[in-house]
Amino acid sequence: MTEVKQPPLPTEEQLSKEFKEYSVAEFFKRNRQMLGYSGKVRSLTTIIHEAISNSLDAAEEAGVLPDIYVEIQELPDGHIKVITEDNGTGVPKKNIGQAFGKLLAGTKFHQMKQKRGQQGIGISYAVLFSQLTTGKNTHVKSGIGDHKVYECDLAIDVKSNSPVIINEKEYSKNYRGIRIEFEFSEVTYNRSEYSVYEYLRRTALANPHCQITLVEPNKEVIVFPRAVKEVPAKPKAVQPHPLGITTSDLIEMAHASTSRKIASFLTSEFSRFSADKVKEIATLIPDVNFDRAPRALTWPEAEKIVNTIQKLKWIAPETDAMIPIGESHIEKSLKNLLQPDELKVIERKPKVFRGGIPFLVEAAIAYGGKAGANIGGQTKAEVLRYANRTPLLFDAGSCATMEAVKNIDWNRYDLKDWENQPISIFINLVSIHVPYTGAGKMAVSPEDEIVQEMRNAIMDCARQVSIYLHAMQKAEEQEQRRQIFFKYIGEVAEALHDITGKPQKDLQDKLRKIAEKRTALMEAMDEEAEKAEVEDLDEEAEKEIQDE
């Protein structure tokens, strides 16, 4: 046999040349699907999602009712031009580059505070996507309300993940807010169930204080009017709860702390951490010196502290950092846009997941009217998923919301084949940290506590819908019964007239009164039976919730 000659092994120098450092912009340039840029319709909706989320946060930060403008233009070369404008805080000139031209830069990631955006990737990647698909810069106009307006064109240097700003100009004008003009290829506008139109419709449902104007490519102007004129309260920033901390978190925070002692670091930089708790932990791990500087804390010591924290009882995390939409506002919004025959809204009490992250669930079920989705000319059930008022339009299969919806026995609530019923199921997760399944922020991780709370909220709403459906069914049965009685009154009166000679009209009136009395008695019996059924339904649901 002829011996096969093996190629020489690469040298150390050759191996070293293979290693290269990539910027985050380069990474996402090659992995744009991770941010939701996959498919022409979804990509355009993702762009609008990022811009609108920022606009709503900015308007609420400014304490004003949001007025948001979106225009989509189809250009002769097949490109799509997108214009968004808001009346929010605006962005200072010195921060424009960071806000729009640098991935993973922003004001939100480091805050323990309820917010729509989180990572500081969204709008800057929309700028990069424009650049990648058309080679065009993005135009930004910003005013912060001090009679100074700043405009520029910008792009992103992919190699260094840094902004490139040109064509700057400043002038005096009473203007506040942000206007962005992008140009894109590889996107499409339509009115499908995953479109910009549907995203804005759902945004309006969960943000009744907002007014959104959409100008479509055919120049049709659609206005989603605000249903309430109250600016939501600003969520407060909170300190992390001890039960949600990891060893890595503790080490990082300790080494950055300016406190003189580990003990004072724990009481000053965490919520619910009293001096008595520090003493209790110090008693359980006497080999850790809590009088030392936090910067001297070692990994084994931090690990002992975290493990001990998990064994103790703690006061629940603060919940005033969470600002729900509110039952009355959800009701006004859904009635305004869906005009349902029956509507039930509920706000659950705050809970925690992963040991120390607070959250709460708001839910509603709208039945009849314009509820449901029109698909192929037929009305189907729709599940309106939200996280901190932001629509989650994609990736439903991996979302906690859909897991909660599908794990409900809908037959119990007279909603057999619920997916083909005229219902809209509305669910909003409110939290200082939404556990998204990916960087695209379109699905909530199915944490056990979150799924269970969503189920409980939906079942509460479904019971009210069941009562309504029972009543409608009973009313129909009663009407049918009444018609049977009344159907033969004329014939019976005529026969009695022939036998007795009494006036036929008098006989009809007497027979009608007898029929009304009988049907009223039977209806009263039906109402008692229905009340008992509802009580049984409530007891069954409550028992199920307690068992779980």
Q: What is the DSSP string of 2-57?
A: PPPPPPPPPPHHHHHHH-----HHHHHHH-GGGGT--SHHHHHHHHHHHHHHHHHH
Mean residue pLDDT of the chain comes to 86
Q: Within 13 A of 101's CA, how many CA atoms are on the CB side?
A: 23
Pick one of 3.30.565.10, 3.30.70.3270, 3.10.105.10, 3.30.70.1050 as the CATH number of 24-224: 3.30.565.10
* CA pair distance 391, 219, nearest whole angstrom: 25
Kindly give the interhelix angle for 448-487 and 504-547, rounded to the nearest 10 degrees.
170
Checking if the pLDDT of 536 tops 70, the result is no
Residue with tokens 């009407």: 479
| Closest C-alpha to 465, from 414, 401, 405 | 414
| Least confident stretch, 83-97, 363-377, 442-456, 502-516 | 502-516
Please identify, in words, the CATH class of the domain defined by 327-466.
alpha beta
Say if CB 271 and CB 238 are below 8 A apart.
Answer: yes
Residues 6+ apart with CB under 8 A from 257: 265, 269, 294, 295
Under DSSP, the state recorded for 95 is G
Q: What is the pLDDT of residue 533?
A: 55
Confidence of residue 120 (pLDDT cuts 50, 70, 90): very low
- The arrangement of secondary structure in 242-311, i.e. its CATH architecture, is Orthogonal Bundle (1.10)
Please tell me whether residue 237 adopts helix, strand or coil conformation.
Answer: coil
Checking if the pLDDT of 112 tops 80, the result is no
Q: What is the pLDDT of residue 470?
A: 75
Stated length of the chain: 548
Residue 274 CB neighbour total at 10 angstroms:
11
Checking if the pLDDT of 471 tops 70, the result is yes
Confidence of residue 540 (pLDDT cuts 50, 70, 90): low
Kindly give the interhelix angle for 504-547 and 489-500, rounded to the nearest 10 degrees.
140
Q: What is the pLDDT of residue 488?
A: 67
Pairing status of strand 67-74 against strand 211-215: parallel
Show me where the domains of the chain are located: 24-224, 242-311, 327-466, 488-547
Residue with tokens 């919730």: 545
Checking if the pLDDT of 82 tops 80, the result is yes
| Least confident stretch, 135-139, 248-252, 348-352, 541-545 | 541-545
Residue predicted with more confidence, 263 or 354 = 263
pTM of the model: 0.76
Confidence of residue 65 (pLDDT cuts 50, 70, 90): very high
* CA pair distance 146, 144, nearest whole angstrom: 6
Say if CB 470 and CB 449 are below 8 A apart.
Answer: no
Q: What is the pLDDT of residue 110?
A: 41
Checking if the pLDDT of 196 tops 70, the result is yes
Under DSSP, the state recorded for 86 is -
Percent of the residues in the chain that have a pLDDT greater than 90, as a whole number: 56
Percent of the residues in the chain that have a pLDDT greater than 70, as a whole number: 85
Q: What is the pLDDT of residue 357?
A: 82
Q: Which two tokens stand for residue 286?
A: 């006497």
Classify residue 534 by burial, with Cβ atoms within 10 Å: 0-12, 13-18, 19+. Answer: middle
